[in-house]
Amino acid sequence: MSETSRDTLRERALKLDAADPLADRRGLFALDEGVYLDGNSLGALPVHVPARVQDVLTRQWGELRIRSWDESGWWTAPERIGDRIAPLVGAAGGQIVVGDSTSVNVFKAVVAAGRLAGEGRDEILVDATTFPTDGYIAASAARLTGHRIVPVAPADVPVALGPRTAAALLNQVDYRTGRLHDLPGLTAAVHAAGAMAVWDLCHSAGALPVGLDEHGVDLAVGCTYKYLNGGPGSPAYLYVAERHQAAFDSPLPGWNSHADPFGMTPDYAPADGSARGRVGTPDIVSMLTLEAALDVWDGVSVDAVRAKSLALTDFFLECVEAYVPAGRVTSVTPAAHAERGSQVALRCEDAGPVMRRLIERGVVGDLRRPDVLRFGFTPLYVGFADAERAAWVLAEVLEETAEPKTA
């Protein structure tokens, strides 16, 4: 690819950035001169968050101390922050509670789904391509509850469902390939079989519309440190559809989910609503960091985020095709918009060394062994010029690492 041809794509990138309705959001994040394409692993820091966290540490904890459970709203934070996440995943208020890790919430959801499904259903379908923790947790939950795990590719779920299916645990977006699975269609199929649909939203929330209420999802879990920018280890969340809350039977009935937590009674009585998903004392500093980070979503339409995400990934793939030497990479991310999340995964034989060199040159993606380069596109702060630059640097690295030709 000549510099003249590159100029054409760079000019297009600049025009697209100038017309981008989300362009002003970039200034809300702490970014350097590099290209950060790993927001699907850890979102960038919103610039206002450190000052907010300092207030939590010095005033709320340092001065008010125990009074902050009431005066600073610490006690109500799990539900309050859940209500802020709700619009980003298409849920009405009162159905999401924030707290614990994704793994812990997967455990709660899978066990509760099995209990909600009723007697005679002893199988739990699990996405065979799932992020490992979901499979590990589901298998443990199945051992504890007498269920049997049935691994199945998401596309094969409809034919795998049957009268013994209690629940299906599925990922909306495949963490390796970026493939977007059919949440509405698969949820309908699960319900038609009389089972419960449990969705993992870790790679979709904050990147594309989810529609939990619209599509009748039963339970869902997700993390907040990727596209929601809550910070490393920020708490996850649990969605329990309102219609299931009265019967939701948590396998982890901690004191925080008690109807009268300060009654300190020996018998457990569950709280009403989403508070049933709480367990123990919440991680307040991390939780309030997340709450502050969610300010960047004020006034943002998820539909606009999705439109930019698709445009960014389209443009990146176009630049890769134009710049990268033929045969060096192959996209494993679906080309069809209806099947694509907000990342591009490229299969590359020498992916490890290539990603190390990309990072050395300021283009930060990540690697999924053995041979997948992942590039996450976070529409709130990634632009089209970033996409073009990343593709050009990738081409340079691949040319430099090409095996010398033999005579």
- Phi and psi at 317, nearest 5°, equal -65, -35
239 is catalytic: no
Is 134 annotated for ligand binding? yes
**Residue owning tokens 């999340």:** 341
Is 165 annotated for ligand binding? no
Catalytic residue among 20, 38, 127, 200: 200
Burial 105-115 (b: 16+ CB within 10 A, else e): bbbbbbbbbbb
**Angle formed by the axes of helices 384-400 and 3-18, to 10°?**
150
Catalytic residue among 107, 131, 248, 381: 131
Is 215 annotated for ligand binding? no
Is 224 annotated for ligand binding? no
Spatial contact of 19 and 357, defined as CB atoms under 8 Å apart: no
The set of residues, in sequence order, having a beta carbon less than 8 Å from that of 55 and lying 6+ positions away, is none
179 is catalytic: no
Is 58 annotated for ligand binding? no
The set of residues, in sequence order, having a beta carbon less than 8 Å from that of 340 and lying 6+ positions away, is 178, 179, 180, 310, 313, 333, 334
Spatial contact of 368 and 374, defined as CB atoms under 8 Å apart: yes
Catalytic residue among 25, 357, 374, 389: 374
Is 200 annotated for ligand binding? yes
Which amino acid makes up residue 117?
Answer: A
Catalytic residue among 108, 179, 226, 278: 226
The token pair that represents 310 in the structure block: 């698709």
227 is catalytic: no
136 is catalytic: no
Catalytic residue among 225, 315, 377, 384: 225
Polymer length in residues for the chain: 407
Is 375 annotated for ligand binding? no
Start-to-end CA distance of the chain, whole Å, equals: 25
Point out the annotated binding site. 102-103, 131-134, 200, 203, 225, 255, 281
Point out the annotated binding site for pyridoxal 5'-phosphate. 102-103, 131-134, 200, 203, 225, 255, 281
Active site residues: 131, 200, 225-226, 374
